[in-house]
Amino acid sequence: MAGTDSSASSRQSSFNSLAKDLELPLEQGCLTIVVLGASGDLAKKKTFPALYHLFEQGFLQSGEVHIVGYARTNLSDDGLRGRIRAYLKGASEEHVSEFLQLIKYVSGSYDSGEGFEKLNKEISDYEMSNNSGSSRRLFYLALPPSVYPSVCKMIRTYCMSPTSRTGWTRVIVEKPFGRDLDSAEELSSQLGELFQEDQLYRIDHYLGKELVQNLIVFREDFGTDGRGGYFDQYGIIRDIIQNHLLQVFCLVAMEKPVSLKPEHIRDEKVKVLQSVNPIKDEEVVLGQYQGYKDDPTVPDDSNTPTFASIVLRVHNERWEGVPFILKAGKALNSRKAEIRVQFKDVPGDIFKCKKQGRNEFVIRLQPSEAMYMKLTVKKPGLEMATEQSELDLSYGMRYQDVKIPEAYERLILDTIRGDQQHFVRRDELKAAWQIFTPLLHNIDAGKLKAVSYKPGSRGPKEADELSEKVGYMQTHGYIWIPPTLA
Ligand SMILES: NC(=O)C1=CN([C@@H]2O[C@H](COP(=O)(O)OP(=O)(O)OC[C@H]3O[C@@H](n4cnc5c(N)ncnc54)[C@H](OP(=O)(O)O)[C@@H]3O)[C@@H](O)[C@H]2O)C=CC1
Ligand SMILES: O=C1O[C@H](COP(=O)(O)O)[C@@H](O)[C@H](O)[C@H]1O
């Protein structure tokens, strides 16, 4: 049975020792996870599968956890279970059935008491029957941000963990957290009036990826695929750069934190964000792929960028003069996310032979996690010539028996443990919007135009020109493909 075997208990024990390292309280007892927006895309593709994987590994135990889906759509418990089952392909039938039995569905609106009273009754009945005297309540808002204020108000009014029991109430909110600095601050104030900062978990799933650190390239080989209506309201900067890529940038550029405690790490992230200089228009390239406007939900005159390459410059002792190129796009030639640290040429290079490229340290976040170093070595043989080679740590080869957890899996577990290290703090969010808001307002006002690029290409040629102009040198004549990708 899932959740009761010895591997599950050994995981529970390493989980407990990690919690001890971070000085988090060790907790057991009744846990309810409520997924609001349970009928939606994120819930079925990411949230419920992540919960299943936590269950399968013993982090969520039958008899202790209770999962409730909530949305307006009229569904039965089995109706919701059927939708979820379709996204748990390849999993053991026995485990899946056991997991699905933990799930109930409650239907109701997002702004009236009736549905939330029903939801509270469902949770309270389970807590009474569980008999542990505890009440841990986790609310996952897999919903459009427009309904966060009303949903949070309803949770605060009807569904909080009762003070008569030990436990807590925590709320996970998805991105986008606002459209610019003012709207994000307004949303933060609305939520801040209802919950303490330590109850709010602003999720950015890039922070849950195994190899998250710096970045220079981020590419996707698909377009907006049916999400054109949503995407056109936001664009690539709000969808990916202001959140996912900026978070990764912070982890690379920040100074060493005082300790691994969440507050110490987030203090350093805020410092580096506050050291970023205003973005210069001439260090931005925007693109829109040909065919984007064929989507009927996208206006014919849309200037929304589906591609952007933006140079950030950090005004501090360590990074003065170093360009950080944040690049993301839809409908490109490949789907990958990488951090690429390129080393400068040595001054007074004594080797006359033409180099293929500079030394680079690459961290591939996906697909096929890897870290590798591209470096110039002497070409084996009698002549004194150089060539490019590599030191490779491809995870698929080095860690063949290890299953790398999904980002959402890790982040939900962090929330249950009360570890906010990988979540965005309010002042961090503000500093992030401060960097991008002037640029976004200029784009919204039509002052910066997106140039067109071919789907399946590297994006606009102007982006490569910009990288070169700020000092990045592409490797010529030799491209190494890690064996796990070949
Ligand atoms: N999908 C993805 O891959 C990702 C999504 N996100 C974020 O996660 C959240 C949820 O995304 P996703 O699941 O794609 O969204 P959906 O559009 O699928 O919405 C989720 C559910 O919310 C309800 N809903 C939709 N529109 C409205 C509305 N205008 N007013 C009230 N309720 C509404 C619907 O449930 P019902 O009608 O049954 O109540 C719907 O099933 C968003 O904040 C999104 O930005 C973040 C990263 C990736
Ligand atoms: O939040 C989002 O992220 C995905 C990319 O996530 P990944 O884990 O698949 O790299 C992006 O496609 C989507 O547009 C955006 O909303």
Report the pLDDT value the prediction gives residue 22, as an integer from 0 to 100: 56
Ligand 1 centroid to residue 77 C-alpha, Å: 20
pLDDT class of 2 with cuts at 50, 70, 90: very low
Residue nearest to atom 4 of ligand 2 (CA): 240
Q: Is the CB of 457 under 6 A from ligand 1?
A: no
Cα–Cα distance measured from residue 395 to residue 285, given in angstroms and rounded to the nearest whole number: 33
Catalytic residue list contains 66: no
- The pair of structure tokens assigned to 238 is 């709000």
Q: What's the pLDDT tens digit per position in 8-30?
A: 555 555 555 555 555 666 677 89
Distance 344 CA to ligand 2 centre (A): 32
Alpha-carbon span 422 to 261, nearest angstrom: 11
Q: Please state, for a pLDDT cut of 90, what percent of the chain lies above it.
A: 65
> How far is the centre of ligand 2, averaged over its atoms, from the C-alpha of 220 (Å)?
9
Section 306-317 average pLDDT:
97
Which segment of 180-184, 219-223, 418-422 scores lowest on mean pLDDT? 219-223
143 Cα: distance to centroid of ligand 1 (angstroms): 4
Ligand 1 center from residue 37 Cα (angstroms):
6
Phi, psi of 342 (to 5 degrees): -100, 130
Q: What is the pLDDT of residue 215?
A: 32
User: How many angstroms separate the alpha carbon of residue 239 from the centre of ligand 1?
Assistant: 14
Catalytic residue among 66, 205, 244, 422: 244
When computed from its CA atoms, the radius of gyration of the chain, rounded to whole angstroms, is: 24
Which residue's C-alpha comes closest to atom 17 of ligand 1? 40
The burial of 340, by beta-carbon neighbours within 10 Å (0-12 exposed, 13-18 middle, 19 or more buried), is given as middle
Residue nearest to atom 12 of ligand 2 (CA): 220
The pLDDT tens digits of the residues spanning 314-365 come to 999 999 999 999 999 999 998 888 888 999 888 887 776 667 788 999 888 8
Q: CA–CA separation, 38 vs 48, rounded Å?
A: 9
| Residue 219, pLDDT score | 41
- Determine the atom of ligand 1 nearest the C-alpha atom of 37: 21
Integer Cα distance of 114 and 363 in angstroms: 49
Q: What is the ipTM of this complex?
A: 0.94
Lowest mean pLDDT among 17-21, 38-42, 44-48: 17-21
Over range 369-397, report the average pLDDT: 88
Q: pLDDT of 206-228, one tens digit each?
A: 899 887 633 333 447 677 776 76
The whole-number pLDDT of residue 213 equals 33
The Cα 413–Cα 416 span in angstroms is: 5
| Residues within 6 Å of ligand 2 by CB | 205, 220, 239-240, 337
CA 182 – CA 424 distance, rounded (Å): 17
Residue nearest atom 19 in ligand 1 by C-alpha distance:
40
Average pLDDT over residues 187-215: 86
Determine which residue's CA is closest to atom 5 belonging to ligand 2. 240
Distance 190 CA to ligand 1 centre (A): 20
In this model, does residue 482 exceed pLDDT 80? no
d(CA 48, CA 54): 10
Q: pLDDT exceeding 70 applies to what percent of the chain? A: 90
Ligand nearest the Cα atom of residue 42: 1
Q: What is the pLDDT of residues 459-471, one digit of tens each?
A: 999 999 999 999 9
Q: Which residue among 205, 210, 219, 364 has the greatest number of ligand 2 atoms within 8 angstroms of its CB, and so is best to mutate?
A: 205
Note the ligand closest to the C-alpha atom of 80: 1
Dist CA 443 CA 463 (whole Å): 17
Tokens describing residue 175: 């991105």
10 Å Cβ neighbour count for 205?
A: 21
- pLDDT at position 132: 82
The ligand 2 atom at the shortest distance from the C-alpha of residue 407 is 8
Is the model more confident about 480 or about 123?
123
Task: Write the pLDDT tens digit of every residue in 257-289.
Answer: 898 888 999 999 999 999 999 999 999 999 999
Nearest ligand 2 atom to alpha carbon 206:
8
Which residue's CA is the nearest one to ligand 2's atom 7? 206
Whose Cα sits closest to atom 18 in ligand 1?
Answer: 40
Atom of ligand 1 lying closest to residue 109 CA: 39
Closest to 328 measured CA to CA, from 436, 177, 434, 400: 436
Question: Which ligand 1 atom minimizes the distance to the CA of 46?
Answer: 3
pTM listed for this prediction: 0.88
pLDDT (0 to 100) of residue 149: 96
pLDDT, residue 92, reads 85
pLDDT value at residue 124: 96
Give dist(CA 348, CA 351) in Å, integer: 9
Average pLDDT, the chain: 89
Ligand 1 centroid from CA 408, angstroms: 16
Which atom belonging to ligand 1 lies closest to the Cα atom of 141? Answer: 9
**Between residues 186 and 226, which one has the greater pLDDT?**
186
Report the residue among 240, 330, 332 best suited for mutation to probe ligand 2: largest number of ligand atoms under 8 A from its CB. 240
Question: Is the pLDDT score of 480 beyond 80?
Answer: no
Residue whose CA lies nearest to ligand 1 atom number 3: 42
C-beta 150 within 6 A of ligand 1 = no
Cβ contacts of 486 within 8 Å, gap of 6 or more? none
436-479, pLDDT tens digit by residue? Answer: 999 999 999 999 999 999 999 999 999 999 999 999 988 777 77
Q: How many CB atoms lie within 10 A of CB 10?
A: 11
In whole angstroms, what separates CA 122 from the centre of its chain? 31
